[in-house]
């Protein structure tokens, strides 16, 4: 997958990102760690290396 420059930095990221809010299980039920791990691994193997792990504050 192609990578793009992040803003004016030298950091390169994939244009498609994976959000992992549900993997944190803070506001979600029924999310299994094994499923989250498989999903993240599959995304990485597909070439997506940009993963958003930020926690939102409500």
User: Is there a contact between 19 and 13 (Cβ–Cβ < 8 Å)?
Assistant: no
Element (H, E) at 45: helix 33-45
pLDDT tens for the chain, 58 residues long, are 899 999 999 999 999 999 888 777 777 788 888 988 999 999 999 999 898 887 776 6
pTM, entire model? 0.72
Domain boundaries, the chain: 4-52
């Amino acid at each position: 997958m192609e990578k793009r420059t992040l803003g004016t930095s030298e950091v390169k990221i994939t244009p498609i990102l994976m959000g992992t809010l549900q993997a944190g299980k803070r506001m979600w039920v029924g999310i299994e760690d094994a499923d989250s791990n498989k999903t993240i691994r599959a995304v990485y193997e597909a070439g997506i290396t940009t993963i958003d792990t930020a926690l939102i504050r409500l």
